[in-house]
Chain A
Amino acid sequence: MLRIEGLTAEIDGKEILKGIDLEVPTGEVHAIMGPNGSGKSTLSYVLSGREGYEVTGGSATLNGVDVLAMEPEERAAAGLFLAFQYPVELPGVGNATFLRTALNALRRAKGESELDAMQFLKLARERMKALSMPEDMLKRGVNVGFSGGEKKRNEILQMALLQPSMAILDETDSGLDIDALKIVADGVNAMRGPGFSALVITHYQRLLDYIVPDRVHVLIHGRIVKSGGPELARELEAQGYASVQAAA
């Protein structure tokens, strides 16, 4: 369960999050929608601990643990995963090496034994098959020369391997064609279950046709101005954010 209370945060002295209250119970998938500049990505970076985002008030706990006090890697070990809006390239670092290093870092943190190269490959191949990813993506440099769709699928692959308890998907649908969108959605839906929650950040309702959320929240100017069921997303699609903004 992710619980955010009165969270305020700023970048370079400018307040972006102005008091967020949000609860994502275990096993649920929530969507956050909102126009550009409303603070959606800031929220994902604040929760995952990116440098330069200063928390000025409020709290955020994951399964009762204060995540804001932790280093980014500790948050990862606590089960928090961020699918990046713009996945980062790591030239010369093989995707398989990266994924295995990450998986083993998390296993170590949990006190589990590390996987050797063969064990890892077996696992990675299974997961890739499920995501219709070509195997050569393991050999290539991390995100180097990947198409937009490949990068997003690579994020989902990482999620599938790392098995987080709480995933934040930051505009994972942007730049995806309909086929890739389905693959990504399938990847997320496959994770759904009592031990997994997700916060799906998106501009558009389209993704939510495939990943049907339990709740939808509208974020505008650093505040959640409206929450509702999946039907809220369709309402927004039809009427735009202006109506919600006016009402708020």
Chain B
Amino acid sequence: MPAVTETIETVQSVTESTYKWGFETDIEMEFAPKGLNEEIVRFISAKKNEPDWLLEWRLRAFAAWKTMEEPRWAAVKYPPIDYQDAHYYAAPKTKAGPKSLDEVDPELLKTYAKLGIPLREQEILAGVEGAGSVPAEGRMPVAVDAVFDSVSVATSYKERLGKEGIIFCSISEAVQEHPELVKKYLGTVVPQGDNFFAALNSAVFTDGSFVYIPKGVRCPMELSTYFRINAKSTGQFERTLIIADEGSYVSYLEGCTAPMRDENQLHAAVVELVALDDATIKYSTVQNWYPGDAEGKGGIYNFVTKRGACRGARSKISWTQVETGSAITWKYPSCILQGEDSVGEFYSVAITNNYQQADTGTKMFHIGPRTKSTIVSKGISAGHGQNTYRGLVRIGAKAKGARNFTQCDSLLIGDLCGAHTVPYIENRCVSAKVEHEATTSRIAEDQLFYCRQRGLTQEEAVGLIVNGFCREVLKELPMEFAVEAQKLLQISLEGSVG
């Protein structure tokens, strides 16, 4: 049998069984009525007991959204989304607001245990895979904020972090407890009218994480948020805001999964990062939303706006993403390099298998002098997957001595998939230096045979070769995550041999 035919058949047979996170939690939920209008925006704001300024802010976003059109420039195809046919608020029926773990619905605790996400303190993060976490000696604890559909259900290690002056809580709680910080920074990196999906998010965002690291503090543990979509016919619109004050450091991780459903569900998040003088934010994502079945039915539309502002001198923002899930991924984690000598980094692995589509990349805006950026993108396409790297490096007239290095590598598995590279470079500064390298390769038959002759199965061989291909990116992930990400890459590509 020709390798390609075999590939497709094997891929089809394994996909459904390999998404281990596709279960559904049976829990009593409270929904907003379907549809999107001003009433719904007011409903969400009222549910969260928000101050007037935030309601106004949401309404302005909604007004802007109504005048906007969905972006069509990305290399992704999908039927029109009926924005009126979804619930914009879905929350487990329990008391609102932050609570101790003992008050959290046991069904929810079970859900996170099944996902391997530790909500109890001194448990370690088992990461995106794994059933039940085993605390290991000498490992760093990880603080977790767990967002279930529209609300945050638990945040761990708040007290210990609080001793250092670190604020780590849901954004709803931050609105209540730290309104001055939220008001000062919300929407300053991604304005309400930035783009269609950001405007939608600004109008109806329901929860997300908030982090503030005070001056000179190095956050003593990894912070993480775990997003879970559970309810049917809902979208998830979370909003994350991270502020690293002068001289501080934080490493933040984000993971996500959803049940397997025939319908497409929309996830339109906004993440804003602000780094002041000498501050560093490291933001890592392992995105594992349900990708749809082998025929391309169902799956999450992951339309996300992530942007970081290096406002301070010598500040640094580093994005690392491993994108294995979602039916469609549309995201461009970006850096605004405003402070002099500030540094932006983007390390990405994106896998598309079956009928998945990914249009992802980054934008690096060099504004300040001697700003530096590094982009390393690894796209892997298998099955009928389509993978596009789309990036912009813009160097302003004042960015004297700015430097960028971009490397985009694509790996093709089989001959029905596609890889595309769309790099834009705009340079208005003669002393700036911009480098771009791109390669496209296939997993060669001789590589597979070599591995199999040594006793590896086809899947192990593909996993090994793909992990080798992604090594430069995976080494940027915090260690626990890197191990899980490697496994995830292998699972995502099971059977996809060409």
Contact with B along A43-64 (1 / 0, CB 8 A): 0000011111000000000000
Query: Residue of A at shortest CB range from B447?
Result: A88
Q: CB-nearest residue of chain B relative to A158?
A: B454
- Across the interface, do A102 and B455 meet the contact criterion of CB distance under 8 Å? yes
Contacts of A75 in B (CB 8 A): 453
Residue pair B449, A141 in contact (C-beta under 8 Å): no
Interface size on B, residues (CB 8 A): 24
A73 nearest in chain B by CB position? B452
Taking a contact as CB atoms under 8 Å apart, the answer to whether B464 and A73 are in contact is: no
Q: Which residues of A contact B460 (CB under 8 A)?
A: 101, 105
User: Quick check: A93 and B464 within 8 Å, CB to CB?
Assistant: yes
Q: Determine whether the beta carbon of A72 is less than 8 Å from that of B446.
A: no
Are the CB atoms of A162 and B454 closer together than 8 Å?
Answer: yes
Q: Chain B 199-219 against A: per-residue CB contact (8 Å), 1 yes, 0 no?
A: 000000000000000000000
| Beta-carbon contacts under 8 Å, A60-80 to B | 71-73, 75-77
B185 located at the interface, meaning its Cβ lies under 8 Å from any Cβ of chain A in the complex = no
Is residue B467 within 8 Å, beta carbon to beta carbon, of the partner chain? yes
With A50-B449, A84-B450, A88-B447 in contact, is A76–B465 under 8 Å at CB? no
With contacts A50-B449, A51-B3, A84-B450 taken as known, whether A90 is within 8 angstroms of B464 at the C-beta atoms is yes
Q: What residues of A have a CB within 8 angstroms of the CB of B452 in the complex? A: 49, 71-73, 76
In the complex, whether A87 has a CB less than 8 A from a CB of chain B is yes
> Which of B445, B458, B471 lies in contact with A92, CB distance below 8 A?
B471
Dominant SS among interface residues on chain B: helix
A8 to B437, CA, bound (A): 47
Indicate with 1 or 0, residue by residue over A90-129, a CB within 8 angstroms of chain B CB atoms: 1111100110011001100100000000000000000000
Known A71-B452, A72-B452, A98-B464: A88·B457 in contact at CB below 8 Å: no
Q: Is A141 within 8 A of B450, CB to CB?
A: no
Known: A90-B465, A93-B465. A102 touches B456 (CB 8 A): yes
Would A105 and B450 count as touching, CB distance under 8 A? no
Q: Decide: B449 and A72 in contact? CB cutoff 8 A.
A: yes
**B469 located at the interface, meaning its Cβ lies under 8 Å from any Cβ of chain A in the complex:** yes
Instruction: Report which of A81, A87, A97, A106 forms a contact with B464, defined as CB distance below 8 A.
Output: A97
In the assembled complex, the CB of A194 is this many whole angstroms from the nearest CB of chain B, namely 23
Name A183-221 residues within 8 Å CB distance of B: none
Question: B468 on the interface (CB 8 Å rule)?
Answer: yes
The reply to whether A101 and B450 contact each other, CB–CB distance below 8 Å, is no
User: Which B residue sits closest to A104, measured CB to CB?
Assistant: B455
When each residue 155-167 of chain A gets 1 if its CB lies under 8 Å from chain B and 0 otherwise, what string results?
A: 0001000100000
- Kindly identify which residue among B445, B464, B469 contacts A101, using a CB–CB cutoff of 8 Å: B464
CB-nearest residue of chain B to A82: B453
A106 CA to B457 CA, complexed, in Å: 10
B470 sits at the interface (CB 8 A): yes
In whole angstroms, what is the CA distance A82 to B450 when docked?
9
Binary B-proximity of A123-166 (CB < 8 A = 1, otherwise 0): 00000000000000000010000000000000000100010000
Residues from chain B with a CB closer than 8 A to the CB of A81 are 453
Closest chain A residue, CB of each to CB of B454: A102
8 Å CB contact of A90 from B455, B468, B470: B468
- Shortest distance from the beta carbon of B422 to any chain A beta carbon, whole Å: 24
Q: Which of B103-128 contact A (CB under 8 A)?
A: none
Cα A87 to Cα B452 in complex, Å, equals: 13
Docked pose: A219 CA to B334 CA in angstroms:
63
Docked CA distance A132–B226 (Å): 50
Of the A-B pairs whose beta carbons lie under 8 Å apart in the complex, a sample of 15, sorted by A's number, is A49-B452, A51-B449, A75-B453, A76-B453, A76-B454, A81-B453, A84-B450, A84-B453, A90-B468, A91-B468, A92-B468, A92-B470, A92-B472, A93-B471, A109-B455
Interface residue ranges, A against B (CB under 8 Å) = 48-52, 71-73, 75-77, 81-82, 84, 87-94, 97-98, 101-102, 105-106, 109, 141, 158, 162
